[in-house]
Amino acid sequence: MDTTLQPAAEPAIPLEAAFRAAMRRLAATVTVISTRSESGLRHGMTATAVTSVSADPPAVLTCVNRSAALHAQLGLGRRICINLLHCSQQRLSEVFSGAVEGEARFAEGEWLSDADGVPYLADAQANIFCEVEALHAYGTHSICIGRVVRVMCRPDVAPLVYQDGAYMCTGPLTGPLATPQE
């Protein structure tokens, strides 16, 4: 008797809808990307499309929709901060997702500025300061690669996570882990 698992029959749904459904299953730490324009205005947006690229040199990648107001502030050599949110900062994520516009977003949370004038969230899970080294247009977004110039981390680890359209917090697994039956 063959006990090999067979994939379920795939429903006839468009590729784009299937892709979106699959991506809802990809949990991601919620971040706010922040920067300051040459005119001195602060800009920020919530993002979950952030990942490390390299440890040597330290670099991160983020994807920014070209229709986002922050996109116009990205440019080679510009400084940004990727603020990883703590699980207590859901409201801040919502504000930077569009609930509030422009500079008024920075009324939520405790924002400071580094020596270069880049705004950063004082009580974020972590702050990753970067200099933009590459921008690549792809589809509706630009892929932004930032060379990490400085990092600050909060002592406790409790990131805000977004998965399947909902916010959640993570924690270590407890108890024995179930093992597959043979």
* Average pLDDT across the chain, whole number: 91
The answer to whether the beta carbons of residues 14 and 32 sit under 8 Å apart is no
Share of the chain above pLDDT 90, in %: 81
| Separation between Cα atoms, residue 151 and residue 84, nearest integer Å | 11
pTM equals 0.86
The number of folded domains in the chain is 1
Closest CA to 120 of 28, 39, 42: 42
CATH value at residue 49: 2.30.110.10
In a domain, 115, yes or no: yes
**Does 133 fall in a domain?**
yes
Q: Is 45 exposed, middle or buried (0-12, 13-18, 19+ CB in 10 A)?
A: buried
Query: Measured in Å, how far apart are the chain's first and last C-alpha atoms?
Result: 15
pLDDT of residue 177 exceeding 70, the answer is: no
pLDDT of amino acid 174? 78
Closest CA to 124 of 91, 88, 96: 88
H helix or E strand, kind and range, residue 22: helix 15-23
**179 domain residue, yes or no:** no
Residue 1 pLDDT exceeds 80: no
131 lies in which domain range?
A: 27-100+110-169
- Within-domain flag for 149: yes
- Is residue 178 included in any domain, yes or no? no
Kindly report, residue by residue over 70-101, the tens digit of the pLDDT.
999 999 999 999 999 999 999 999 999 998 99
